[in-house]
Amino acid sequence: MLAELESWSPHVFGALGSELRPFDLARLGASMARALGKDGSIDMLRVSAQSGRALIRERFRGFEVDHLWSPWLLHAGLSPDHATGGLMLPIMAFTMHAAGLPVVTGGADNFVTAFARVLSERGVTVILGESVRNIEIRSGRAVAVHLAGERLSATRAVIASAATPRLYETLLDAAVVPSAGKRAADRHRPGRAAMQLHFALDRPVRWSDSRLDDVPLVHIGSGASSTGVACAQAESGLLPANPTIVVGQQCVLDPSRAPAGKATLWVQLQELPCAPEGDAAGSISTDGTWSTGTTSAYVDRVLDSIERYAPGLRSTVLDSYSIPPTALTAANANAVGGDPYGGAAEIDQSLLWRPGTGTGHRTGIDGLFHIGAFTHPGPGLGGGSGHLVAQQLLAPSRRSRSMDRVRSSLEKFRSTK
């Protein structure tokens, strides 16, 4: 499977690293046809349309691959039964086998600090704790960003990493929003909500299967079977009875996260409704909100599930901190509906249809670009959308290219004299 993906990778990553304009699509299609031929191209497109469950059933026997890889689809905002999962699974496997997953020493805050240092060294001013009120448009061009008490002028462009509805319905005056932007905001659909749990432990986790003691990331579930059901329950507004639980044991790779002999545990739940209307197991009372009672009861369910594979875990918990979907949105305006992935990642909100304006990262307003998980190539840590916009901003202008051609012609003319 990975060898096959290696032959596909120039075309897959070419699509993810392109604006997907008509010219880009024609170029990618021609390149794929030359390299893979008709049958190979059709096979790649077929896998791209498959679900993860379908790919695994078709290509593997036994339960091991299903249990190992199906839960990873959640990290792409997909379920085992969503189209494109058939391609996303080998992409994830390829990435992890080839590059691995980075863990920042001392905690993820150091990741942000490192970027802040890089920006500072390059003379970039970072303003924290200020909410953007609106983007000023003058004569059809973005010219400034307004904070509560400050106007920041734009000399070249305004780049907005914002939720699609917030950009077109809040940050811009309705009179200047292009029809494509209004359509994209109307069609935007959040994906499933997520919750994070953080635990301080009196000792490292002791799993029933001791081989897991040294595994940095563990998925608890039964592959596509349990994950598929949990996703369906969440998308129906129910608290899943048997959620897929992502357990991160950071101290395995980074002992600095906890004092000697102690440990930390990070838990992620990616199959939740933003507004729980009921409980699939019928034991937790809900009122459409993530109240303290609902959150506490669901955390208990999660701990009970982990404890089946790590007996005695609950007795080692020194302290805990829960971030339910509503708290996630409160902390990050881009987590609309508690969704950390910038909108449902199904095929109708991916590729050409993310964010759905038909203009790529351009907004239809001169000098205003849209980036982030809400835009192609979607969620992730690769910074793909920002890179695509940076390439456009750094490219020579049409006037500059014309002047370069004139200079080149003059130099050739002088050299022949």
What are the backbone angles phi and psi of residue 258, rounded to the nearest 5°?
Answer: -145, 155
**106 in a domain, yes or no?**
no
207 lies in a domain? yes
**According to the model, what pLDDT value does residue 414 have?**
62
Q: Tokens for 213, please give them.
A: 């003691």
**Are 198 and 324 within one domain?**
yes
User: Are both 305 and 327 inside the same structural domain?
Assistant: yes
202 with 320, same domain?
yes
Encoded amino acid at 306, one letter: I
> What would you report as the CA-atom Rg of the chain, rounded to the nearest whole angstrom?
24
What pLDDT does 252 receive?
A: 94
The predicted pLDDT at position 402 comes to 63
Query: Looking at the structure, do residues 229 and 177 belong to the same domain, yes or no?
Result: no
Q: Is residue 6 part of a domain?
A: yes
Cα 187 to Cα 249: distance, rounded to the nearest angstrom: 38
Residue 121 lies in a domain: no
Strand partners, 113: none
> 47, 82, 98 — which closes off a domain?
98
Does residue 349 share a domain with residue 324?
A: no
pLDDT computed for residue 358 by the predictor: 85
208 & 253 share domain = yes
Do 299 and 197 lie in one domain? The reply is: yes
Starting at the edge strand that comes first in sequence, how are the strands of the sheet with 134-138 ordered?
134-138, 141-146, 151-153
Query: Which tokens is 401 given?
Result: 């290219």
Same domain, 217 and 252: yes
Whether 109 is covered by a domain: the verdict is: no
- Tell me the three-class secondary structure of the chain, residue by residue: CHHHHHHHHHHHHHHHCCCCCHHHHHHHHHHHHHHHHHHHHHHHHHHHHCEHHHHHHHHCCCCHHHHHHHHHHHHHCCCCCCECHHHHHHHHHHHHHHCCCCCCCCCCHHHHHHHHHHHHHCCCCCCCCCCCCEEEEECCEEEEEECCCCEEECCCCEEEECCHHHHHHHHCCHHHCCHHHHHHHHHCCCCCEEEEEEEEECCCCCCCCHHHHHCCEEEECCCHHHHHHHHHHHHCCEECCCCCEEEECHHHCCHHHCCCCCEEEEEEEEEECCCCCEECCCCCCCCCCCCHHHHHHHHHHHHHHHHCCCCCCHHHEEEEEEECHHHHHHHCCCCHHHCCCCCCCCHHHCHHHCCCCCCCCECCCECEEEECCCCCCCCCCCCHHHHHHHHHHHCCCHHHHHHHHHHHHHHHHHHHC
Tally of structural domains, the chain: 3
Per-residue pLDDT for the chain (417 aa), expressed as one digit of tens each? 777 888 998 999 999 999 998 899 999 999 999 999 999 999 999 999 999 999 999 999 999 999 999 999 999 999 999 999 999 999 998 888 888 888 899 988 998 899 999 999 999 999 988 999 999 999 999 999 999 989 999 999 999 999 999 999 999 999 999 999 999 999 999 999 999 999 999 999 999 999 999 999 999 999 999 999 999 999 999 999 999 999 999 999 999 999 999 999 999 999 999 999 999 999 999 999 999 999 999 999 999 999 999 999 999 999 999 999 999 999 999 999 999 999 999 999 999 899 988 888 999 999 999 999 999 999 987 789 999 999 999 987 666 556 556 666 666 656 665
**94 in any annotated domain:** yes
Domain boundary among 98, 115, 142: 98
Distance of alpha carbon 278 from alpha carbon 285, whole angstroms: 7
pLDDT at residue number 336: 95
In terms of domains, do 231 and 274 share one?
yes
404 is a domain residue: no
**How high is the pLDDT of residue 100?**
83
Q: Which residues fall within 8 angstroms of residue 149, CB to CB, at 6 or more apart?
A: none
- For residue 183, give the CATH number of its domain: 3.50.50.60
Does residue 198 sit in the same domain as residue 307?
Answer: yes
Q: Cα–Cα distance between 105 and 275 in angstroms, integer?
A: 35
Listed residues 279, 298, 331: the one ending a domain: 331
Which domain covers residue 348, as residue numbers? 132-189+342-399
202 in any annotated domain: yes
Q: Please indicate, yes or no, whether residues 227 and 319 belong to a single structural domain of this protein.
A: yes
Could you tell me if 202 and 309 lie in one domain? yes
